[in-house]
């Protein structure tokens, strides 16, 4: 029988592997084409090489041969007019975020969080700052320097030409990116620059790369954009939906000819030094229509204030000169939210559907937030491609929801500058990834205004708030209409009633201990201590079952040809010794909601994101919400196993293997010896199923594995060390198994006890 099951297991594994190989052969992944050469590359990002870039996301132009990186920005053909400005700072004492704005479409290019809790969890190279460099004679000219970045602290300025870094020449942007890609946070490098014709050397101490809530999403296909723009549309772009009866083309990203706003450069009013808290863009269209967009930092960076420190204010103004104008506009939401966790975490939907990595989130006043799956948006499976905004159903917010972060537009609700909106549309932007990675689709929301009549010489102004930050329930509650705010974006599924108190307890323990790994261990102790009466009963039930095995085996032999009598005799034996075969299942039923609650906590709570078990300085167990990632084996094993969407993923994870090993040990301790061939087969099947579970749970968060490891050790300790209090068997002779005696007493003590009970039995006879 053992041989047959081993053959079954081997054949099953062979079929699975063969099917994966056949699928890879019949449906190969299309080759990643090299992007066309572009002239501006951000030196803060490393040259993407192979598997590291593959893990980060599917929408990147990252090939070592071409030298392109994920920091490519707008090309040089329009660089004479391309201007960037920043708001905020990366200094956490001054602000909570650094916003980079671009004259291209008067859009938001990226939003970086200043909080030390939020770093890029994939890229661990040294960070200088997003400089938007341009290749020129002599090196790389700096386009922008953000406040609070290492570049700003070292004195780097826009217009400086970087010639060498650490003694290595940087003749172009690709070489500059390659140099910084080999650095580490905390390292000091010498940056040689040319400024106003004179050479200077700046000593720069690199930081760890901050997390970008909003960033350019880079394409995989060759770029046909005349500006060499290799990324999807940027965030918060404005375009005209209609003008004087002319509607935009059916293509979502197309614009009315002669009325282009989204993909052209706007003018910037004023000097950046005059008012560092705002940036104002203008563009005049033929016919006298002028569009104005003004970004302003929220009034306070204090999280206790109403804005929470993660907000911007956006004002949209349309002016008419010469004659009346009838227009409607479309304001797109954020794009390029983080894709982290996409290969090991499954998001939970309220409507039984499957969610993508980023989904459109919309909420009307008085209603629950609607999460529109990015998979449905790209697949054309939406029942309602647009939602009407009426006077009776004002819009609270519309934006994009990701795993740990969200970004949204929040229209002003009252006053003369409250937007007059007609509808909200979910929108997919950029390339559609291959089938296995379709959930990486980039999405946004589009707010469409009603028809607006602007009198000659007059203007219409609409005001919006922008949120871009972490999904903390108390923070999200401050954005949107009170009672219909963004706080319900944090969703734990059916087991929220368990997840919320567990999160509260974890946070409380962390506030005392300062380490979430230790907090998980203490949480395990509290849970197992609370369940001790149940687990003790389970242990006693298991002991009874093992003690009754000889009599059950005798019953099985006696009634092996009479199943009804065998069942009746077995039930009478159980009843006589007060044994309940379902008694060992109660602990399992209690553990399931705890397991699901903790899993949803680790996969949803932003505070547990990047919480290390030991230290964030090492990669292993540096994120309790992710697999432990001991060793990158993607270059050793075949891609169908180690690809991010493959069975195992790109890393060898130790904690799941330890967890399964402890499960097998615990199962061996609690499982009674088989009394017949059927039970033996069942136990073998259960052992095999454990290894299938190891495959299924190979990419679960290491924090969850830590809970299981501690819980299993607790259960094993209970089984080995707690005293045994079992009644004698029906024949008056207590069957003693040395395996049930605490460790260290199973030798002579166990034999002596058995002999003593045997002598007592003979005296009674």
| CATH for 398 | 2.70.98
More confident of the two residues 362 and 687: 362
Residue 282 and residue 381 in one domain: yes
* pLDDT band at residue 68 under the 50/70/90 scheme: very low
Q: Which among 188, 127, 197, 106 is positioned nearest to 159, based on CA atoms?
A: 197
> Where does residue 258 rank: exposed (0-12), middle (13-18), buried (19+ CB within 10 A)?
exposed
What's the rounded Cα separation, in Å, for the pair 139 and 164? Answer: 8
What average pLDDT does range 15-22 have in this prediction?
A: 59
For the CA atoms of 260, 261, 266, 272, the dihedral, rounded to the nearest 10 degrees, stands at 180
Classify burial at 65, counting beta carbons within 10 Å of its beta carbon; exposed 0-12, middle 13-18, buried 19 or more: exposed
- 29 assigned to some structural domain: no
The domain of 617 spans 499-727
Strand-pairing partners, residue 590, are none
Kindly indicate the confidence band of residue 756, based on its pLDDT and cuts at 50, 70 and 90.
Answer: low
CB-side neighbour CA atoms (13 Å) of 73: 32
Asked whether 438 and 428 are in contact (CB, 8 A), the reply is no
For residues 46 and 52, what is the distance between their CA atoms, to the nearest angstrom? 10
228 within a domain of the structure (yes/no): no
What would the pLDDT profile of 729-749 be if each residue is shown by its tens digit? 444 344 433 333 333 344 444
- Listed residues 491, 524, 555: the one ending a domain: 491
Contact 741, 721 (CB under 8 A): no
What distance in Å separates the CA atoms of residue 417 and residue 451, rounded to the nearest whole number? 15
In a domain, 226, yes or no: no
Q: Say whether pLDDT at 359 is over 60.
A: yes
Task: Indicate whether 667 pLDDT > 60.
Answer: yes
Rounded Cα distance between 192 and 164, Å, is 5
Tell me: do 254 and 365 sit in the same domain. Answer: yes
Write the DSSP string, 446-515: EEEEPPEEE-TT-EEEEEEEEEEEE--HHHHTTSEETTEESGGG---GGGHHHHHHHHHHHHHHHHHHS-
CB 468 within 8 A of CB 334: yes
In a domain, 745, yes or no: no
Enter the DSSP assignment of 275. -
Compute the 3-state secondary structure of the chain and give helix, strand, coil in percent, each to the nearest 5.
35, 25, 45
| pLDDT tens digits, one per residue of 488-503 | 999 988 888 888 998 9
Whole-number CA gyration radius for the chain: 32
Rounded Cα–Cα distance for residues 178 and 64 (Å): 9
State pTM to two decimals.
0.81
Residue 227 lies in a domain: no
Q: Is the predicted pLDDT of residue 323 greater than 50, yes or no? A: yes
Higher pLDDT, 733 or 387: 387
Contact present, 104 and 234 (Cβ < 8 Å): yes
Domain boundary among 448, 463, 491: 491
List Cα–Cα distances, 369 to 4, 351, 401, in angstroms: 54, 12, 11
Burial (0-12, 13-18, 19+ Cβ within 10 Å), 304: exposed
**Which pLDDT band, with edges at 50, 70 and 90, does 675 fall under?**
low
Domain assignment present for 356: yes
Distance of alpha carbon 584 from alpha carbon 589, whole angstroms: 10
> What's the CA gap between 512 and 138, in Å, rounded?
55
Q: For residue 109, give every residue at least 6 positions away whose Cβ sits within 8 Å of its Cβ, in sequence order, or none.
A: 73, 84, 100, 101, 102, 215, 216, 234, 235
Residue 142 confidence (pLDDT): 94
How far from 377 is each of 238, 289, 361, 404, 443, CA to CA, in Å? 21, 33, 12, 21, 8
Confirm whether 282 is domain-assigned. Answer: yes
Q: Read off the pLDDT of each residue in 162-183 and give the average, rounded to a whole number.
A: 92
Same domain assignment for residues 560 and 708 = yes
- Asked whether residue 472 falls in the same domain as residue 522, the answer is no
Q: What is the pLDDT of residue 512?
A: 93
Do residues 282 and 375 both lie within one domain?
yes
* CA 69 to each of CA 99, 136, 762: distance values in angstroms, whole numbers, following the listed order: 21, 18, 85
State yes or no: pLDDT of 5 exceeds 50. Answer: yes
Residue 654 has pLDDT above 70, yes or no: yes
593 and 610, same domain (yes or no) = yes
Number of domains comprising the chain: 3
Q: How far is the C-alpha of 690 from the C-alpha of 698, rounded, in Å?
A: 12
Is residue 344 domain-shared with residue 395, that is, in the same domain? yes
The total of other beta-carbon atoms located within 10 Å of residue 383's CB is 5
The answer to whether residues 451 and 529 belong to one domain is: no
Check residue 205 and give its pLDDT: 95
* Secondary structure element (H or E) that encloses residue 195, with its range: strand 188-195
- Alpha carbon distance 358, 372 (integer Å): 9
Query: Do residue 202 and residue 252 come from a single domain?
Result: no
What is the pLDDT at residue 110? 95
How far the first Cα of the chain sits from its last, in Å, is: 42
- The string over 50-62, giving b where at least 16 C-beta atoms fall within 10 Å of a residue's C-beta and e elsewhere, is ebbbbbbbbbbbb
Model pLDDT, residue 231: 81
Q: Which of 214, 246, 269 is the last residue of a domain?
A: 214
> Which segments of 554-663 are extended strands (E)?
631-632, 651-652
Q: d(Cα 22, Cα 516) in Å, to the nearest integer?
A: 43
Indicate if the pLDDT at residue 483 is higher than 90.
no
DSSP state at residue 437? G
**Of residues 445, 350, 337, 452, the one with CA closest to residue 396:** 445
- The verdict on 510 and 469 lying in the same domain is no
Segment 38-49, tens digit of pLDDT? 333 343 333 333
Of the candidates 126, 106, 100, 103, the one whose C-alpha atom is nearest the C-alpha of residue 46 is 126
Rounded-to-integer distance, Cα 479 and Cα 417, Å: 18
Shared-domain flag, residues 103 and 247 = no
Stretch 622-638: mean pLDDT = 90
Mean pLDDT, rounded, of the chain: 80
pLDDT in tens, 396-419: 999 999 999 999 999 998 888 999
Q: Is residue 202 part of a domain?
A: yes
309 burial via Cβ count (<10 Å: 0-12, 13-18, 19+)? buried
227-270 pLDDT, tens digit each: 456 788 999 999 999 999 999 998 888 999 999 999 899 999 88
- Distance from the Cα of residue 132 to its chain's centroid: 27
CA 299, chain centre distance (Å): 30
List all residues 6 or more positions away from 312 whose beta carbon is below 8 Å from its beta carbon.
87, 99, 295, 296, 297, 298, 465, 466, 468
Alpha carbon separation from 536 to 550, 573, 593, 626, 745 (Å, rounded) = 23, 22, 20, 33, 21
Q: Could you tell me if 510 and 570 lie in one domain? A: yes
Strands 395-401 and 359-364: antiparallel
The CATH number linked to 97 is 2.30.42.10
């Amino acid at each position: 029988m053992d041989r047959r099951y081993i053959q079954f297991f081997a054949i099953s594994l062979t079929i699975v592997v063969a099917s994966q190989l056949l699928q890879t052969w019949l449906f190969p992944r299309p080759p990643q084409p090299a992007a066309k050469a572009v002239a501006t590359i951000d030196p803060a990002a490393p040259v993407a090489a192979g598997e590291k870039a593959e893990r980060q996301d599917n929408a990147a132009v990252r090939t070592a041969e071409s030298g392109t990186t994920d920091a490519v920005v707008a090309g040089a053909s329009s660089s004479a007019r391309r201007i960037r400005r920043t708001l905020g700072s990366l200094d956490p004492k001054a602000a909570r975020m650094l916003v980079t704005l671009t004259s291209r479409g008067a859009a938001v290019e990226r939003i970086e969080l200043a909080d030390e809790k939020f770093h890029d969890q994939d890229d661990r190279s040294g960070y200088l700052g997003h400089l938007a460099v341009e290749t020129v004679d002599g090196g790389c000219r700096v386009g922008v320097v953000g406040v609070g970045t290492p570049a700003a602290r070292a004195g780097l300025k826009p217009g400086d030409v970087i010639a060498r870094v650490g003694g290595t020449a940087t003749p172009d942007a690709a070489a500059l990116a390659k140099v910084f890609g080999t650095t580490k946070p905390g390292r000091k490098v010498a940056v040689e620059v040319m400024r106003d014709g004179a050479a200077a050397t700046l000593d720069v101490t690199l930081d760890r790369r901050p997390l970008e809530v909003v960033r350019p999403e880079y394409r995989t296909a060759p770029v046909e954009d005349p500006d060499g723009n290799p990324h999807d549309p940027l965030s918060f772009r404005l375009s005209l939906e209609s003008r004087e009866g002319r509607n935009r083309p059916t293509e979502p990203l197309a614009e009315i000819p002669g009325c282009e706003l989204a993909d052209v450069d706007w003018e910037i009013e004023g000097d950046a030094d005059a008012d560092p808290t705002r940036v104002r863009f203008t563009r005049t269209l033929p016919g006298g229509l002028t569009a104005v967009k003004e970004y302003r930092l929220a009034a306070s960076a204090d999280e206790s204030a109403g804005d929470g420190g993660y907000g911007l204010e956006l004002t949209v103004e349309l002016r008419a000169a010469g004659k009346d104008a009838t227009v409607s506009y479309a304001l797109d939401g954020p794009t390029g939210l983080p894709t982290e966790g996409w290969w090991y975490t499954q998001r939970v939907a309220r409507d039984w559907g499957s969610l993508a990595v980023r989904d459109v989130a919309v909420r009307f006043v008085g209603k629950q937030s609607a999460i529109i799956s990015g998979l449905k948006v790209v697949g054309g499976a939406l029942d309602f491609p647009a939602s009407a905004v009426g006077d009776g159903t004002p819009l609270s917010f519309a934006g994009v929801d990701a795993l740990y972060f969200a970004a949204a537009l929040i229209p002003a609700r009252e006053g003369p500058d409250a937007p007059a909106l007609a509808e909200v549309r979910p929108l997919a932007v950029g390339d559609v990834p291959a089938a296995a990675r379709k959930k990486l689709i980039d999405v946004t929301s589009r707010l469409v205004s009603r028809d607006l009549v602007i009198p000659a010489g007059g203007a219409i102004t609409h005001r919006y708030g922008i949120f871009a930050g972490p999904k903390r329930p108390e923070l999200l509650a401050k954005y949107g209409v009170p009672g219909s705010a963004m706080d319900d974006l944090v969703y734990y599924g059916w087991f929220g009633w368990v997840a919320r108190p567990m999160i509260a307890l974890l946070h409380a323990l962390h506030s005392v201990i300062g380490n979430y790994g230790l907090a998980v261990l203490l949480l395990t102790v509290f849970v197992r201590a609370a369940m001790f009466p149940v687990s003790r009963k389970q242990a006693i039930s298991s002991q009874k079952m093992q003690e009754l095995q000889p009599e059950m085996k005798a019953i099985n032999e006696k009634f092996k040809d009479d199943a009804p009598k065998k069942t009746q005799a077995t039930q009478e034996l159980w009843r006589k010794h007060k044994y309940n075969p379902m008694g060992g299942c109660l602990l399992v039923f209690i553990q399931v909601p705890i397991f699901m609650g903790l899993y949803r906590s680790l996969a949803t709570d932003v505070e547990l994101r990047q919480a290390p078990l030991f230290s964030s300085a090492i990669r292993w167990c540096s994120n309790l919400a992710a697999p432990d990632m001991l060793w990158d084996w993607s270059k050793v094993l075949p891609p169908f196993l180690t690809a991010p969407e493959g069975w195992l993923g790109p890393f060898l994870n130790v904690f799941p293997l330890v967890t399964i090993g402890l499960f097998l040990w615990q199962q061996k301790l609690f499982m009674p010896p088989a009394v017949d061939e059927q039970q033996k087969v069942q136990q073998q099947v259960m052992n095999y199923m454990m290894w299938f579970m190891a495959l299924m749970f190979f990419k679960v968060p290491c924090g969850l594995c830590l809970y299981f490891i501690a819980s299993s050790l607790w259960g094993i300790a209970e089984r080995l060390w707690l005293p045994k209090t079992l009644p004698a068997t029906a024949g008056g002779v207590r069957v003693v198994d040395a395996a049930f005696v605490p460790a260290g007493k199973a030798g002579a003590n166990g034999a002596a006890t058995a002999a003593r009970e045997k002598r007592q039995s003979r005296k009674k006879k």
